């Protein structure tokens, strides 16, 4: 049997091969399979490079439904932006699960941004109000852009506000996203102004403390909290979490890493039973999405390897059909 070509997909190749709408559909499938129990996904391995203020994550997964397996190696180095380097850098290796043959090497930074944005789109689609039209985005980086793009794909947005302490990054976000989406995007002077009248919120920061005040969150708001995954960091005020209906990507991962949930639990604000359901259970019809127009809903994601697997498989299949990417010698 001849081995298939080994394909390399750069960041630009990944974005060409996997537009946001396709990424959202890939995430729907990923979470349905995860909910169905046919995904093999060990806990991710974490290595701390303390002197360099960096973290290395290794994330494997295997899908019985796709007959594909993936391995992502991801680095997050706090000082990189000051040196003109990306905070997040990663590679994903996609292989045939039946033979173990590598099929593709993909830029993991672009793939991570796409799949995380896309799962935010899936969560908003099942949890946000049907007529939600104003988005507040906290953070102005790559993931903040992906979150807004995904929200615009599942709701007809009228306006978006962005808040980031880095005003240069905030201004660049406004210019790029207003042009890319054909949407009114404004820079908010403060967090409260960003939230005023918003019914969709996405937090995509590296903050170790909440990025807005609990009292500024209105009724019926849906929040995607996707920026931090460490137990010692939290973007969402604890009492907002307490009053919200909380949906997670996976309970096991959330109880291991999600500081937004673990910190209020440690303070006695609520127990594990406060986590209402997983996203896959909603998509499979085993649990309800939004229950009332007035409730606040919160989707907390720490990021799962199955997301990388499904996004990589969708990008690879599309790239093969379209002739995108570079064939590497074996």
- Residue pLDDT, tens place only, 130-152: 999 999 999 999 899 999 999 99
Per-residue pLDDT at 1 exceeds 80: no
Spatial separation of the C-alpha atoms in residues 282 and 242, rounded to whole Å: 21
Q: Which of 124-128, 171-175, 211-215, 312-316 has the lowest mean pLDDT?
A: 211-215
Per-residue pLDDT at 91 exceeds 90: yes
- For the chain, what are the domain ranges? 6-111+306-328, 129-303
Q: Please tell me the class of the 6-111+306-328 domain.
A: alpha beta
Residue pLDDT, tens place only, 14-36? 999 999 999 999 999 999 999 99
Spatial separation of the C-alpha atoms in residues 313 and 307, rounded to whole Å: 10
Tell me which of 32, 50, 72, 167 is the catalytic residue: 72
Give the CATH number of domain 129-303; options: 3.40.50.720, 3.40.47.10, 3.40.50.300, 1.10.3720.10. Answer: 3.40.50.720
CB 99 within 8 A of CB 81: no
Confidence grade of residue 229 (pLDDT, cut at 50, 70, 90): confident
Q: Provide the pLDDT for residue 86.
A: 85
Predicted TM-score (pTM) of this structure: 0.93
Q: Provide the pLDDT for residue 56.
A: 95
Confidence grade of residue 82 (pLDDT, cut at 50, 70, 90): confident
**What integer is the mean pLDDT of 2-12?**
93
32 included as an active-site residue: no
Residue pLDDT, tens place only, 273-283? 999 899 999 99
Pairing of strands 68-77, 54-63: antiparallel
E-state strands within 110-250: 134-138, 159-163, 185-187, 200-203, 222-225, 245-248
Helices and strands, counts by H and E, the chain: 11, 16
**What integer is the mean pLDDT of 197-221?**
94
Per-residue pLDDT at 88 exceeds 70: yes
Mean pLDDT of the chain: 95
Per-residue pLDDT at 262 exceeds 80: yes
Spatial separation of the C-alpha atoms in residues 127 and 279, rounded to whole Å: 10
SS3 assignment, position 89: strand
Strand partners, 68: 63, 96
> Among residues of the chain, what percentage have pLDDT more than 70?
100
The sheet with strand 134-138 has its strands ordered as: 185-187, 159-163, 134-138, 200-203, 222-225, 297-300, 245-248, 275-278
Q: Which of 1-10, 71-80, 256-265 has the lowest mean pLDDT?
A: 1-10
What distance, in Å, lies between the first and last C-alpha atoms of the chain? Answer: 15
Pairing of strands 200-203, 275-278: unpaired
Q: Provide the pLDDT for residue 3.
A: 83
| HSE-up (13 A, CA, CB side) for residue 58 | 5
More confident residue, 222 or 83: 222
More confident residue, 224 or 50: 224
Q: Is 7 exposed, middle or buried (0-12, 13-18, 19+ CB in 10 A)?
A: buried
């Amino acid at each position: 049997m001849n081995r298939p070509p080994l394909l390399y997909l750069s960041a630009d190749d990944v974005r060409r091969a996997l537009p946001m709408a396709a990424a959202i559909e890939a995430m729907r499938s990923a979470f349905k399979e995860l909910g169905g129990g046919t995904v093999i996904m060990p806990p991710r391995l974490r290595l701390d490079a303390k002197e360099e203020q960096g973290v290395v994550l290794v994330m494997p997964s295997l899908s019985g439904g796709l007959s594909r397996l993936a391995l992502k190696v991801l680095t997050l180095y706090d000082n990189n932006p000051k040196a003109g380097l990306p905070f997040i850098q990663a590679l994903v290796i996609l292989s045939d699960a039946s033979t173990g043959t590598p099929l593709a090497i993909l830029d993991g930074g672009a793939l991570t941004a796409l799949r995380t944005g896309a799962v935010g789109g899936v969560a908003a689609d099942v949890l946000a109000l049907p007529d939600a039209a104003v988005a507040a985005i906290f953070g102005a980086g790559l993931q903040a852009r992906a979150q807004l793009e995904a929200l615009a794909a599942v709701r007809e947005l009228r306006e978006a506000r962005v808040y980031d302490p880095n005003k240069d990054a905030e201004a660049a976000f406004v210019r790029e996203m207003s042009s890319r989406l054909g949407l009114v995007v404004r820079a908010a002077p403060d967090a409260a102004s960003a939230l005023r009248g918003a019914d969709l919120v996405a937090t995509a920061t590296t903050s170790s403390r909440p990025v807005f005040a609990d009292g500024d969150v209105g009724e019926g708001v849906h929040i995607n909290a996707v920026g931090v995954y460490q137990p010692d960091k939290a973007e969402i005020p604890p009492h907002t979490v307490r009053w919200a209906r909380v949906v997670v990507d996976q309970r096991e991962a959330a109880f291991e890493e999600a500081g937004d949930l673990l910190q209020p639990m440690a303070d006695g604000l609520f127990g594990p039973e406060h986590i209402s359901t997983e996203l896959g259970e909603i998509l499979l019809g085993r649990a309800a999405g939004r229950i009332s127009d007035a409730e606040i809903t919160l989707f907390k994601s720490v990021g799962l390897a199955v997301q990388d697997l499904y996004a990589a498989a969708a990008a690879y299949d599309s790239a093969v059909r379209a002739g995108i990417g570079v064939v590497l010698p074996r």
